Structure 1
Amino acid sequence: MKPNILFIFTDQHRHNVMGCAGHPLVQTPNLDRLAAEGARFSNVWCQSPVCQPSRASVITGQYTEDLGMFGNTGDFDPEWPTVIQAIRDGGFETASIGKTHYHGMPGRETLDAEDAPYDLRRYSSFVGGFGWDYVLEEFDKYVHPSRRLRTPYTDYLAGQGSSLLQDYREQIKSVFRLTPDHWRGETSVLSQEHDLTSFLAREALTWLGEREKDKPFFLKLAFVQPHVPLIDDPDWADYYRDADIPLPNQAPPAATNDAWQRYVDKLNSHSQVRTMSDDFIREGTRHYLGMVSLIDQKIGEILAHLEATGELANTWIIYTCDHGEMLGEHHLWAKQNFYKGAVQLPLIVWPPGGCEARVVEDLVELTDVTATLADVAGVDAPEKCRGSSVLAALDGDDVGREFLRSRIGAYSAIRNAQYRFTLDVDSGTPCELFDLMADPGETTNRVDDIAMRPVVEQLQRRLSS
């Protein structure tokens, strides 16, 4: 029988917030184990530094430009061929547990509507149409404050026979303001047992235990965290309470042209981190680390289950996410920009039984994960997939590409081994050029440097091709 595939997909996990990636504080022993027995890729770009377009790319293998999706709006097109369909047709039992975000984000006017609750469970058949046999759909925690939103998780909390759901909603509501409070770190009013991450892990364990064993499985376990709000469970909050958090580089380059200024203004309007104190950033980071550590803890429980059932020896594990997190770097929080913190991803590939540990520095895109999933399953990638499998890297072979691309709204970016370039697509005006070798912290924008004009022109032509 073909090997199983466990695809663990998180939301907004900064690429270097893992012990195996050199973070000095975060506790991630299970991700570290997978990296020590597999391949960790250190130069992976997402196709968009925002949730929905990036997730569209990973199931189709296409760029956001191909799909016409540049933000968190609209539903995925049911006509898109996906790698999930190919895997299911290849004989796998497929399941999606957690956040898919194949549907548009509900607006607050929808969530607060009086006529009917916004019932996320109704999306199961829609999501299933992309290739999933089983769907348990969840969404970002910050939409839960509405009394009108219903999800499997809110049903679970409501069924506990206490005020858990109300307490939870009130806490989320207190930080969902789209002001600096939106990034405030807090300890959850819920115990670890009732945390959304714990709930999703239990649902995954239940599905693994109850599924039919006559087929290999393809399980996508999509944790909603460490996406904002920055609220972690009390156990991990206590662990990191006194952690000495180093402050990130907070010196954004000054804009030198109108197109760049518009870009910078857009970034600032999203995160507003310029108004935050150093202590505010440190506290938010502590709670972010707590969310990552709880995810890692639950990954350990999944691994233990697979070991106990004997299935781990016949299971591929691929870990990645949709985009990164700035954590206060460059005076920014969250994503929606092309700095390394927002656009670079963690990626670990663990083959059944493990392999010699490798750190792969080749340039890789999220579309390559699409092709890798197909390769692992022994099926063809979707016809229009732009990615290439990275499995050869496990044997030490080169799998890198020359250029990486990403897009958000009216801005596109491209990078190669040395440079990262951003273009205002609407006006055709260059916004950013960073020499990543001379300036890995991306602190000096050279887009208006006359000496760099040939580089700007070359990358702009490549981006437009």
Structure 2
Amino acid sequence: MKVLPLFSLVALCLILGYSCAEKEAKKPQKPNFLFIMSDDHAYQAISAYSDHLIQTPNIDRLAKEGMLFRNASVTNSICAPSRATILTGKHTHINGKIDNHNPFDTTQVTFPQIFQKAGYQTAMFGKLHFGNNPKGVDDFMILPGQGHYINPDFITQKGDTTITGYVTDIITDMSLEWLDKKRDSDKPFFLMYLHKAPHRPWWPRADKFKEYTQKTFPLPETLFDDYSNRGTAAKTAEMNLLYHMQYSHDSKIFPETLEAMGGVEPLVEGSQADVYNEFNRGNEEQRNEYKPILDSINLDFKEKWPKLTDKEKMIWKYQRYMQDYLGSISSVDDNVGRVLDYLDNNGLAENTIVVYTSDQGFYLGEHGWFDKRFIYDESFKTPLLIRWPNEIKPGTTEEEMVQNLDFAQTFLEAAQISAPTDMQGESLMPLLKGDGAKWNREAVYYHYYEYPSVHMVKRHYGIVTKEYKLAHFYYDVDEWELYDRKKDPKEMNNVYDDPAYAEIVKELKGKLAELRVKYKDSKELDDKYIEQSKKY
């Protein structure tokens, strides 16, 4: 037997060791995912989109270091249906969650289940909004339903619990604790970090409440829209700041203030005692922080309201709305910064895809409204920012039409996991990789169902391209609306009956019919869900 000299053995080991190390270094790593979603966060309230209302430096980091989508949208602008679409990669008429009342089809496979099966460690913290036992997650703590801002309750695998503090901070604490202490460093992870804020009734943390009640915000150009060039749906929706935003629940006016004033005009229907729903959840220390601010708001209201014109009352309500809504967002931005800093400081940022989005858009006084639901831009469009180091070119802006329908397939392709063939979205990978030539979508499909219900936005479906938006309002009306998105970006003028747009109407109706076939939607399904909704 031939024996190698000692130096030859050492050299061989070094060579083999180097070869193995080199091979290991070249072995592709599965990316981690941090999916951040807030609730009702309007793109207008992210300074990367527009800085006229608020600065959001931490969320903006994702735009500076990644990609910002300017034409991201939802398939159905309401909370639970949007989340069901994200989880399944299917339109709501397929997954069953057409509104906040009809049940989700629990036989549907969600993308976290697929990630879990593929070896990812999965976790969910915050607001899911439907179901108490999310599928495909190894660890979770979720709010029951809408949840609370102050001392919130949580559903966990070990039972329900109440945690003292402010909900945005708590959800972040949970997520950071999981990353730091519960995560298996030998596995890639998919963490869903889901904020309740800034959902109605918009309760900022006490320090933000104090800060933001001192601020004044610019008025939207369309605040006093009279809907004269729109159809029945816009004229009859119940989301006007003056006539439908509740004094107590929304503007934080105590019932005893209203009683002492002998009633106020205009009369707004709904519970006026809801201001105490959050306030009374606080302990004595927390209530003492909020009380002086609430007192100052109530004093201002009592002194000013009887002397104001309707226009001035609208402005007063708008400012109160923005103070609370934007104060809530300020805490979201602070906490997003905490999590991004953790990734940076623990060597995770380079191999983690970070997504920031919301479950839909939201009206911040545009057209005189709050809430969402419509196919109109402020509701239909949603913020979407994605950072993927070494893959997405920093500071990129993308104008293509994308939807929350696309998220599941995008995540699966990025993780090199095969997507189920019945998912209905399109992977955003060509756009993320800068290969837009491979993206061929010209239009997206939208369908809203929750009517008659809160805010009374009529049922409608439609098609949206970069240039136009065609919508059909149905059920108790049969009306069509067409908007020229280039010439009329604020969507003030319905040009459906304008002869100059006759050919556009014909073309878009044909494409809309094709999309309804493509996505397996139909008049028969419309009728089915109308009947089904009568049960709820």
TM-score, normalised by the number of residues in structure 2: 0.70
1:445 aligns with 2:448: no
Determine which structure has greater relative contact order: mean sequence separation of CA pairs < 8 Å that are 6+ residues apart, divided by chain length.
1
Q: 1:254 aligns with which of 227, 232, 249?
A: 227
Query: Residue 38 of structure 2 contacts residue 196 of structure 2 at CA under 8 Å; is this kept in 1?
Result: yes
Q: 1:244 aligns with which of 195, 198, 216?
A: 216
Q: Partner letter of residue 184 of structure 2?
A: E
Shift of residue 309, structure 1, vs aligned partner: 1.9
1:155 aligns with 2:193: no
CA distance in 1, matches of 2:34, 2:147: 27
Which blocks of at least 5 consecutive residues in structure 2 are unaligned? 1-28, 247-265, 267-312, 450-458, 515-536
1:101-180 equivalence runs, <5 A? 101-103=129-131, 123-124=132-133, 127-128=134-135, 131-139=136-144, 141=146, 151-152=154-155, 155-157=161-163, 160=164
Query: Residue 413 of structure 1 contacts residue 420 of structure 1 at CA under 8 Å; is this kept in 2?
Result: yes
Q: Cα deviation per residue 1:138-183 (whole Å; 9 max; x = unaligned)?
A: 14556789x9x953598334xx5xxxxxxxxxxxxxxxxxxxxxxx
CA distance in 2, matches of 1:320, 1:313: 20
The residue that corresponds to 1:228 in the other structure is: 200
The residue that corresponds to 1:66 in the other structure is: 94
Query: Residue 267 of structure 1 contacts residue 337 of structure 1 at CA under 8 Å; is this kept in 2?
Result: no
Query: Residue 98 of structure 1 contacts residue 139 of structure 1 at CA under 8 Å; is this kept in 2?
Result: no
Query: Residue 82 of structure 1 contacts residue 382 of structure 1 at CA under 8 Å; is this kept in 2?
Result: no
Q: 1:342 to 1:428 in 2, by over 3 A?
A: same
Identity of aligned residues (%): 29
Q: Partner letter of residue 200 of structure 2?
A: V
CA distance in 2, matches of 1:310, 1:253: 54
Deviates more, 1:448-457 or 1:400-409: 448-457
CA distance in 1, matches of 2:334, 2:494: 40
Shift of residue 81, structure 1, vs aligned partner: 2.0
Q: 1:251 to 1:65 in 2, by over 3 A?
A: farther
The residue that corresponds to 2:109 in the other structure is: 81
CA distance in 2, matches of 1:235, 1:400: 48
CA distance in 2, matches of 1:400, 1:278: 44
Q: 2:386 aligns with which of 349, 358, 361?
A: 349
Query: Residue 83 of structure 1 contacts residue 382 of structure 1 at CA under 8 Å; is this kept in 2?
Result: no
Q: Partner letter of residue 39 of structure 1?
A: M
Shift of residue 400, structure 1, vs aligned partner: 6.0
Q: Partner letter of residue 142 of structure 2?
A: E
The residue that corresponds to 1:205 in the other structure is: 176
Q: 2:55 aligns with which of 3, 27, 31?
A: 27
Query: Residue 423 of structure 1 contacts residue 460 of structure 1 at CA under 8 Å; is this kept in 2?
Result: no
Shift of residue 312, structure 1, vs aligned partner: 1.7
Q: 1:144 to 1:245 in 2, by over 3 A?
A: closer
CA distance in 2, matches of 1:325, 1:372: 25
CA distance in 2, matches of 1:291, 1:400: 38
Q: Partner letter of residue 287 of structure 1?
A: D
CA distance in 2, matches of 1:422, 1:267: 19
**Residue 16 of structure 1 aligns to a residue in which SS?**
helix
The residue that corresponds to 2:406 in the other structure is: 368
1:316 aligns with 2:321: no
CA distance in 2, matches of 1:412, 1:427: 14
CA distance in 2, matches of 1:141, 1:151: 11
**Residue 79 of structure 1 aligns to a residue in which SS?**
coil
CA distance in 2, matches of 1:215, 1:385: 26
The residue that corresponds to 2:236 in the other structure is: 265
Which blocks of at least 5 consecutive residues in structure 1 are unaligned? 104-122, 161-193
Shift of residue 253, structure 1, vs aligned partner: 5.6
Query: Residue 142 of structure 1 contacts residue 228 of structure 1 at CA under 8 Å; is this kept in 2?
Result: no
CA distance in 2, matches of 1:64, 1:263: 23
Shift of residue 268, structure 1, vs aligned partner: 4.5
Shift of residue 6, structure 1, vs aligned partner: 0.4
CA distance in 1, matches of 2:109, 2:75: 18
* Root mean square deviation, CA, Å: 2.7
CA distance in 2, matches of 1:301, 1:246: 29
Shift of residue 255, structure 1, vs aligned partner: 5.8
Query: Residue 430 of structure 1 contacts residue 447 of structure 1 at CA under 8 Å; is this kept in 2?
Result: no
**Residue 55 of structure 2 aligns to a residue in which SS?**
coil
Q: 1:382 to 1:439 in 2, by over 3 A?
A: same
Query: Residue 7 of structure 1 contacts residue 220 of structure 1 at CA under 8 Å; is this kept in 2?
Result: yes
Query: Residue 447 of structure 2 contacts residue 460 of structure 2 at CA under 8 Å; is this kept in 1?
Result: yes
The residue that corresponds to 1:402 in the other structure is: 442
Query: Residue 63 of structure 2 contacts residue 394 of structure 2 at CA under 8 Å; is this kept in 1?
Result: no
Q: Cα deviation per residue 1:401-429 (whole Å; 9 max; x = unaligned)?
A: 21112211131122111111111244783
Query: Residue 8 of structure 1 contacts residue 220 of structure 1 at CA under 8 Å; is this kept in 2?
Result: yes
1:281-296 equivalence runs, <5 A? 281-296=318-333
The answer to which structure has the higher strand fraction is: 1
The residue that corresponds to 1:279 in the other structure is: 316
Say which one has the larger Rg: 2
CA distance in 1, matches of 2:398, 2:196: 27
Q: 1:99 aligns with which of 110, 127, 131?
A: 127
The residue that corresponds to 2:453 in the other structure is: none
CA distance in 2, matches of 1:418, 1:80: 34
Q: Partner letter of residue 441 of structure 2?
A: R
Q: Cα deviation per residue 1:340-374 (whole Å; 9 max; x = unaligned)?
A: 11110111110036632101111111112222111
CA distance in 1, matches of 2:95, 2:145: 23
CA distance in 1, matches of 2:71, 2:126: 26
Query: Residue 240 of structure 2 contacts residue 370 of structure 2 at CA under 8 Å; is this kept in 1?
Result: no
- The count of residues paired between Structure 1 and Structure 2 equals 403
Query: Residue 56 of structure 1 contacts residue 76 of structure 1 at CA under 8 Å; is this kept in 2?
Result: yes
Q: Partner letter of residue 332 of structure 2?
A: I
Q: 1:141 to 1:427 in 2, by over 3 A?
A: closer
The residue that corresponds to 2:341 in the other structure is: 304
The residue that corresponds to 1:16 in the other structure is: 44
CA distance in 1, matches of 2:385, 2:205: 25
Query: Residue 83 of structure 2 contacts residue 128 of structure 2 at CA under 8 Å; is this kept in 1?
Result: yes
Q: 2:424 aligns with which of 386, 403, 406?
A: 386
Q: 1:273 to 1:464 in 2, by over 3 A?
A: farther
CA distance in 2, matches of 1:400, 1:362: 9
TM-score, normalised by the number of residues in structure 1: 0.80
